[in-house]
Structure 1
Amino acid sequence: MADSAEIVASIRRRIVAGELKPGDRVPSTRQITRQWGVAMATATRVLTTLRQEGLVTARPGIGTVVASGLPSVAAPTRPRVPSPEVTRADVVRAAIVIADAEGSAALSMRRVATELGVATMSLYRHVPSKDELVAQMIDTAFADHPFTSPPPPDWLEAAEAGARRLWLIFRRHPWVAPAMSLTRPQVTPNALAYGEWVMSAMHAAGLGARHIFQVHLTLFSYVRGLAISLEPEAVAEQETGITYTEFVDAQGDTYHSLMSSGAYPTFHTVVTRADFDLDLDEQFEFGLRHLLAGLAGLPSAGGPVRLR
């Protein structure tokens, strides 16, 4: 079984030789564990060492890739010198890049410190805990997608716009949906600003306070519930290299074996006739349209709202 130094040397040689070029993905932690037969901790240490040497970097939505401006010799460069200029915003942004690229499971205070080239303990001057770091990451994600104009007078239009903005945030940052809690919500300024924008339109239309809160929670729960599937799918595809379609195709034998038993006739008929490929964006549109249609009957100061 190889140790981390041997694996680092192997990947380093491929990078320096030009076999892996800037922007190319390097083996993920899951691929390293399979290829070299090592534990996940060893695989993580390999990628961390390569990052410290400046050979690879995390790229949102892609994974760990070969960095640009590589050293021209095979010898590793020195680890980056800790910078006294690191700010709280730097810590939060670095954490977001890691979570976007590799999923929330890859996020740790030590990992963020490695990306910034500082001591792990120095991060605690900016964020007292990982939970606080995640809360700040959520707040920043909402801050990056603000509402820049007042809500429309039609509260249903505002509710739809709010749901779409939430879906956009979850799409850009797949870790946000599972990180947010309905029962123990993170109270942050920009997440509250989102809720304020949506609920103010309902309040102006004359909906009662209880209905306002219930509509807001219903829409949030719908969008978040669908978006929770985004991160595990992205991580699974990154680590295995198998797309959703390829995964479904690989289940063909098992599916046909179960269907041949005759125990699931309706399921088989529906799946066969629907000609359906799961598209989360399409499912979001379908669910939102019908959810808004149901909410349209709520009484307000102007009577029941009608969908246009």
Structure 2
Amino acid sequence: MAGETVRSCLVCGATLAPAARGRRPRYCSRACQARAYRARLAERAGRREQALRQDTPAAGRAPIDAPGETGPQEAGTGREADGRDALSLDRIVRAALEIADREGLEALSMRRVAAALGAGTMSLYRHVSGKDDLVDLMAEAVLERAEVASSAAGPDGWRERLAAYARAMWALYRRHPWLLQVLSATRPRLVPRGMATTEWLLRAAEGLSHDPPTMVRAVVTVTGYVQGMAMFLVNDMDAERRTGIAKERWWELNRERWRALATSGPYPLLARIAAEDQEDVGLDEEFEFGLQRMLDGLALHLGTPPAERRP
């Protein structure tokens, strides 16, 4: 239209073509839109961490899981009744999180997310490039909301901080079991909040040692313990979802068979455990026991002169 102001992409500065209809574009591509979204998450995470250090609430923080303000939609279009695009990255990520939390990552697809939003599948690709990119955004959103770094203004000392991290991640895997498939120490998701979480963890380990390789090994040890225990938790949650049978009910159905096997062969220690018939304390208590023993081991190892340590 003659006289229309030339607009530029808010990320890269490229000139934007005028919109044929609807609201004016703000980004030149899905890649720039995704970068802007991640930048907003990182900015909120930075404000939140700063607020935690000051022991004040993070002003202006708007978590992804907060209900959005959207008007009535035309069924199956993902558009507002007045024709405006009702989809946004926030809504797409929120819908994807609901599916993955409820049914697992294997149930997540662009088609499923579009159906949950009442939109066409192809309309999602205006906001996100594909499932892998969407999973990155989901991980970023979950880590941004997590209370991993909440001890920045709380516990003092390396042990308390590492324990706070471990407990926070344990709780996170319970709320979002699919995350265990996504977070990896060997091939990490390259998202800002993931880097910020790792940096915080390294700062916590700095109280153990100022030697970077030792700090990294301590971090990998803690992360590996949490993920290993979380595998038990997530596998049990997955089994319950698939079968409809909770762990307690499974043991009611199989306890006598287990006891018969334990006492009928060359398994004297298992037979002793079966005879005592102790009540299951649950994974939370087992997790805490193992966490404290692991921290005891780090304290003992790093309290030993370097020349006397085992490799």
Query: Is the structural similarity TM-score above 0.5?
Result: yes
In structure 1, the gaps of 5 or more residues are: 1-59, 61-77, 304-308
Specify the alignment match of 1:50 in structure 2.
none
Deviation for aligned residue 1:299: 3.9
Per-residue deviation at 1:255?
2.1
Aligned equivalent of 1:282, options 276, 282, 285: 285
**What residue in structure 2 maps to residue 13 of structure 1?**
none
CA shift in 2, pair 1:232/1:124, >3 Å: farther
Aligned position for 2:275 = 272
Cα distance in structure 1, aligned partners of 2:277 and 2:260: 20
Cα drift, residue 298 of structure 1? 4.5
Quote how far apart the aligned CAs of 1:153 are.
4.8
- Aligned-residue offset at 1:96: 0.7
Matched, 1:106 2:104: no
Match of 1:238 among 238, 241, 255: 241
The residue number in structure 2 matching 1:118 is 119
Counterpart secondary structure, 2:168:
helix
| Aligned pair partner of 1:210 in 209, 213, 217 | 213
TM-score when normalising by structure 1: 0.66
Structure-2 residue corresponding to 1:259: 262
Q: Is the 8 A contact 1:215 1:295 kept in 2?
A: yes
What's 1:172 paired with?
175
Identity in percent: 36
- The amino acid of 2:107's aligned partner reads A
Shift of 1:224: 1.0
- State how far apart, in whole Å, the 2-side matches of 1:277 and 1:260 are: 19
The match for 1:154 among 154, 157, 164 is 157
Find the aligned partners of 2:278 and 2:287 in 1 and give their Cα distance: 18
2:224 counterpart of 1:221: yes
Write the deviation string for residues 266-295 of structure 1: whole angstroms up to 9, x where unpaired.
212124326041511111101101011111
Is 1:82 equivalent to 2:82 in the alignment?
no
Is this contact kept in 1: 2:202–2:219, CA < 8 A?
yes
CA distance in structure 2 between the partners assigned to 1:259 and 1:201 by the alignment: 43
Distance 2:208 2:290 in 1: 24
Contact in 2 for aligned 1:158/1:201 (Cα 8 Å): yes
Normalised by the length of structure 2, the TM-score is 0.65
Distance 2:167 2:259 in 1: 38
Letter aligned with residue 122 of structure 1? S
| Offset at residue 228 of structure 1 (A) | 2.0
Instruction: Determine if contact 1:151/1:197 at 8 Å carries over to the other structure.
Output: no
Amino acid at match of 1:85: A
Q: Which has the higher contact order (CA 8 A, sep 6+)?
A: 1
- Shift of residue 217 of structure 1? 0.8
For 2:207 and 2:215, the matched residues in 1 are separated by: 11
What residue in structure 2 maps to residue 92 of structure 1? 93
Cα separation, partners in 2 of 1:138 and 1:129, compared to 1, 3 Å: same
In structure 1, give the amino acid aligned to 2:78: P
SS in 1 for 2:300: coil
Quote how far apart the aligned CAs of 1:194 are: 1.2
Cα contact 1:109–1:123 (8 A) shared by 2: yes
Q: Number of residue pairs matched?
A: 226
Contact 2:263 2:271 (8 Å CA) reproduced: no
1:195 to 195, 198, 218: 198
Q: Contact 1:207–1:299 (CA<8 Å) still a contact in 2?
A: no
Q: RMSD across aligned C-alpha pairs, in angstroms?
A: 2.7
